[in-house]
């Protein structure tokens, strides 16, 4: 998990409202923040895809070389395929980073928050699918059982992950609202004092 930087909208406000500046000017700090968040999101996406493919290769190898039971192999393959699918879904329509104008930067920030929102709910869906997978393993794998301390341990970890994902989704939704309000104010009057509301602090997450 990665922690994106906070957006400093006060600096952007000064560049838009400074009377010595003719026309809106880009804030370098905001541009760096948007680019950094985009870079972290792409690294996180690559890591998730690579991790899913690695697990899939291990399942195939274990099925061929170690005679992994078909029920376990099918369950593991289905879980990995689902996780990869929702990861791809969370990144759909990624516009990249646009930094030519203040409006373009805000549009990029909104798109990043929207992607982060989808990523968070994809994480919730993957965690719920992991619950199903653990339940299947308890039923079909002789070495596993409800009395195995690993099973409740995994359940606790998954519940913590779900709570963090939901929290991140709420933060992304707040960021989208703040950025959208700032963008609308800029479009209504480029000379208005635009603060975009208080910055929304980030927590672990790639977007």
Query: What are the tokens at 149?
Result: 């301390």
Instruction: Tell me the whole-structure pTM to 2 decimals.
Output: 0.73
Query: How far apart (Å, rounded) are the C-alpha atoms in residues 58 and 52?
Result: 10
- Structural domain spans, the chain: 9-188
Nearest CA to 199 out of 182, 183, 186 is that of 182
Query: How far apart (Å, rounded) are the C-alpha atoms in residues 205 and 2?
Result: 5
Nearest CA to 68 out of 140, 132, 131, 130 is that of 140
What pLDDT was estimated at residue 146?
58
Considering Cα of 178, then 180, then 183, then 187, what sign does the dihedral take? negative
Query: Cα dist. 203→70, 82, 104, 200 in Å?
Result: 40, 25, 24, 10
Q: What are phi and psi of 15, to 5 degrees?
A: -70, -30
What pLDDT was estimated at residue 141?
67
**pLDDT 10s digit of each residue in the chain, 207 long?**
443 444 444 444 444 444 444 444 556 766 787 888 889 989 999 999 999 999 989 888 888 877 778 888 888 899 999 999 999 999 887 767 887 778 888 888 899 999 999 999 999 999 999 998 888 887 776 666 556 677 788 889 999 999 999 999 999 999 899 888 888 888 776 654 333 334 444 444 556
Query: How far apart (Å, rounded) are the C-alpha atoms in residues 169 and 123?
Result: 10
What pLDDT was estimated at residue 25?
52
What pLDDT was estimated at residue 195?
38
Q: What is the chain's alpha carbon radius of gyration, rounded to the nearest angstrom? A: 22
Considering Cα of 80, then 86, then 90, then 92, what sign does the dihedral take? positive
Query: How far apart (Å, rounded) are the C-alpha atoms in residues 115 and 84?
Result: 16
Query: What are the tokens at 194?
Result: 């635009």
Query: Cα dist. 26→52, 119, 143, 169 in Å?
Result: 39, 28, 60, 28
């Amino acid at each position: 998990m990665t922690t994106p930087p906070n957006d400093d909208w006060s600096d952007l406000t000064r560049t838009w409202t400074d009377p010595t500046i003719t026309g809106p000017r880009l804030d370098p700090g905001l541009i760096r923040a948007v680019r950094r968040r985009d870079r972290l999101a792409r690294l996180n996406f690559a890591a998730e895809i690579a991790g899913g493919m690695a697990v899939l290769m291990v399942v195939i190898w274990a099925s061929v070389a170690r005679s992994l039971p078909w029920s376990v192999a099918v369950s593991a393959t289905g879980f990995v395929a689902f996780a990869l699918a929702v990861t791809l879904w969370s990144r759909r329509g990624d516009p990249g980073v646009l930094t030519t104008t203040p409006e373009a930067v805000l549009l990029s920030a909104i798109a990043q928050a929207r992607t982060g929102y989808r990523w968070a709910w994809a994480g919730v869906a993957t965690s719920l699918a992991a619950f199903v997978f653990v339940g299947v393993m308890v039923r079909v794998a002789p070495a596993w059982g409800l009395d195995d301390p690993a099973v409740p341990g995994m359940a606790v970890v998954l519940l913590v992950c779900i709570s963090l994902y939901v929290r991140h989704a709420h933060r992304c939704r707040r960021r989208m609202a703040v950025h959208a309000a700032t963008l609308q104010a800029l479009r209504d009057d480029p000379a208005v004092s635009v603060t975009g509301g208080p910055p929304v602090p980030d927590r672990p997450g790639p977007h």
